[in-house]
Each structure stands twice: as structure tokens, then as C-alpha cells.
Amino acid sequence: MASIRNISVGLPVKAGHVLVLNGTDAVEGEDFHRAIGGGIEFGETAEQALRREFDEELGVELGRVTLLAVVENIFVYEGNRGHEIAHVFAVESAEIEAVPLDAELHVLDEGSPVVWAPISTMDRPLYPTGTAHLLESLTQ
């Protein structure tokens, strides 16, 4: 990635859990969680991108969304350098709230597994970098 990518991601929280994607960096052998979301398209606001991404990835409509922070994420994934500016939102959705904590979901457009991860005992890093500490404000 030769340029900085602007993204929007959301943190749905329920009963001490956050809904996230599960991923693996095959080069590093690292398992990780990633907040749900994706790229902001030209002419689209960060909130519009977030709503579109949740619809495309999970087929759900978001209710209230609240911007928590904008974080910078410089990383290496699969041996390639990346640089993101991430708009991180708290999200509410009746459809997501109805998803049981033990549900096995997958991203609609590419198949990545989606899980409710326990916030207090998260067993792998959460990306984008800087996102994990934002969960504290959502669980208090």
C-alpha cells in the first residue's frame, strides 16, 4: 500500500463482548481481531461509509452511531506495509443486538469469521491499533 487509507470501523458491544472479525497474518503466524468496517469512498462521509460497510459485510442496518476517536494505524500485514486513518465508532443496531453471543457469522462479501469476543479476556490483539482502549468507554 503506497498511500494512506481512510477507513471507518464500528464497535458493537453486548454483555461485555464486542463483535469483531477474526483474522490471521500467515506470514507472522499472528491471530487477531479486527473491528468491522472498511474504506471510505470518495464523496462519502465516515458515517456513511460505516453504515454501508455494515450493510455490505453483515447485512445489517445501524441505528445510532457515535464517533469515539480517530486513530492512526501503521502496520505490516502478510509482509506488506499499511497505513490507515481509522474513524472508530460506537454502534447500535437492533439486528446486531439480536445476534446470540455464541453465533457463528461470516462476512458476506469475503467469508471472514465474525465473533462476539469477550472484552475483559480478549485472547488476541484488536486492530486497528488504538481501538482496544476505546472499548473501556463502552463497557462502563
Domain membership of residue 40 as a residue range: 5-138
What is the C-alpha separation between 112 and 109, in angstroms, rounded?
A: 9
The CATH number given to whatever domain includes residue 13 is 3.90.79.10
Cα–Cα distance measured from residue 73 to residue 84, given in angstroms and rounded to the nearest whole number: 5
Between residues 137 and 26, which one has the greater pLDDT? Answer: 26
Q: Provide the domain count of the chain.
A: 1
Q: Is 94 exposed, middle or buried (0-12, 13-18, 19+ CB in 10 A)?
A: exposed
* Residue 34 to residue 18: CA distance in whole angstroms: 10
The per-residue pLDDT for 111 is 82
pLDDT for res 91: 97
Q: What is the mean pLDDT of residues 2-24?
A: 95
DSSP assignment, residue 119? S
Report whether pLDDT(73) > 70. yes
Mean pLDDT throughout 96-116? 91
Look at residue 140 in the predicted model and tell me its pLDDT.
60
pLDDT of residue 47: 98
pLDDT tens, residue by residue, 43-55: 999 999 999 999 9
